[in-house]
Chains A and B, each alone.
Chain A
Amino acid sequence: MSTEKFKVVHYLNQFYGGIGGEDKADYQPEERLGLVGPGQALQAGLGERGEVVATVICGDSYFNENVETALSAILAMIAKHNPDIVVTGPAFNAGRYGVACGAVAKAVAENLKVPVVSGMYLENPGVEMYRKYAYIVETSNSAADMRKAMPKMAKLVIDLAAGLEVSPATHGYLLQGLRKNYFHSESGAKRAVSMLVSKMSGQPFTTEYPMPHFDRVAPNMPIADVRQAKIALVTSGGIVPKGNPDHIESSSASKYGKYDIAGITDLTVETFATAHGGYDPVYANQDADRVLPVDVLFEMAAQGEIGSLHRYFYSTVGNGTAVAKAVTFAKKIAQELLDDGVNAVILTST
């Protein structure tokens, strides 16, 4: 290994850069030679192997309100020093700072092609947005964690600079959502069975595929009287007008459809079908009311058993569809339903 020190450029916000607090958050990008603030702890962790050659400071508000201008200025300041590694933050749970640290990481990774190490609390929005572009060491949600976070970040910097293998398990950074192929000494079947045996005998085991995180929502208040309520139908069962005009995918849907059913009393074999590729479509194609009960709700509305049936229904395919995608669909659909004065929703799934 060469005895030459590797070069690190460090990105900080106005607070950690010693400029000031919220009143200085509109501070424009600025470059300093050498280290500033938390850079001391970083340098201490790097020891003789690497050197923090420069620090770039930018106010969080300035960055987030002028992303393009700020990024190009920051990138130029960083590039000038030909760093081997860039470090941003740590940002802990500071949202705007985390987003800035992530955006700088993305710009550096894409333009300068050098690795970026950062540090954030799991729920910092910068994690979800930029985890692919940086090695983000998991920190606590408070700046008091600096003394523990920085040594971990420095260790990661040293190993990346040396070209060593790093992993979330050995280096404490957050999963990047990247898949890497490798040969395991045991087949998947064997590993699955040993995991199952461990589980059944109460022994500890480590899953190879953690479940996604599902959030919890407090139940809404009930509606006082369905006879006064406007009810809407939403489904993940893929019911669409025959021919699937919006080309909703049969699995891993990237979109949903909104369809007008004003005056429709019954979904028939000629008019509606399912786009879903995850269940036998024969029964839904014969009679889509089996998934989306338009026929009975139309009658109930006519007979006053419900106030009314909303004239649009929303549909997507739940088969393999990412939770994050479903959340974005749901936000848009829910807002439209509220704007249309819908009181309650019946969601059907297959």
Chain B
Amino acid sequence: MCTVVPISLTVGANRIVPTVAIPYPLGNPQKTPAEEKELRRALVRRALRALETEVHGQVVFDK
């Protein structure tokens, strides 16, 4: 899970989930704490789905 996807692609990560921002990949201080946690939960769920998905090379899970 990372914000700068081109770096993850360069270093060879295979399942990549794009995140929010460099200093807060899994949050957003502009949101309310409850909204922020929902955002984080959604991103983690996407990562879990990536772990359950068969890939044959680098895949960016952007939705």
Q: Which residues of A contact B (CB under 8 A)?
A: 214-217, 219-226, 229, 231, 237, 279-284, 286-287, 289-293, 295-297, 299-300, 305-306, 344, 346-350
Interface size class, chain B = 20 to 34
Closest 9 CB pairs of A and B: A290-B27, A219-B14, A290-B24, A283-B24, A349-B2, A296-B41, A226-B48, A279-B23, A280-B23
Would A300 and B44 count as touching, CB distance under 8 A? yes
A344 proximity list for chain B (CB < 8 A): 51
Would B22 and A350 count as touching, CB distance under 8 A? yes
A225 proximity list for chain B (CB < 8 A): 52
Would A348 and B37 count as touching, CB distance under 8 A? no
B34 → A minimal CB distance (Å): 12
| Most chain A beta-carbon contacts within 10 A, residue among B7, B25, B47 | B25
B19 proximity list for chain A (CB < 8 A): 348
Would A226 and B26 count as touching, CB distance under 8 A? no
Instruction: Provide the B19-63 mask, 1 if CB < 8 A to any CB of A, else 0.
Output: 100111111010000001100110110011001111111000000
B3 → A minimal CB distance (Å): 7
Task: Kindly state the separation between the CA atoms of A226 and B44 in the bound complex, as whole angstroms.
Answer: 12
Would B44 and A291 count as touching, CB distance under 8 A? no
Would A346 and B2 count as touching, CB distance under 8 A? no
Would A346 and B23 count as touching, CB distance under 8 A? no
Task: Kindly state the separation between the CA atoms of A297 and B56 in the bound complex, as whole angstroms.
Answer: 27
Q: Indicate whether A296 sits within 8 Å of B23 (C-beta atoms), given known contacts A344-B51, A346-B47, A350-B3.
A: no
B27 proximity list for chain A (CB < 8 A): 283, 287, 289-290
B32 → A minimal CB distance (Å): 13
B10 proximity list for chain A (CB < 8 A): 214
- A229-B51, A282-B23 given; name 10 further pairs at CB < 8 Å: A219-B55, A221-B54, A237-B25, A279-B23, A281-B23, A287-B27, A290-B36, A293-B26, A305-B48, A346-B51
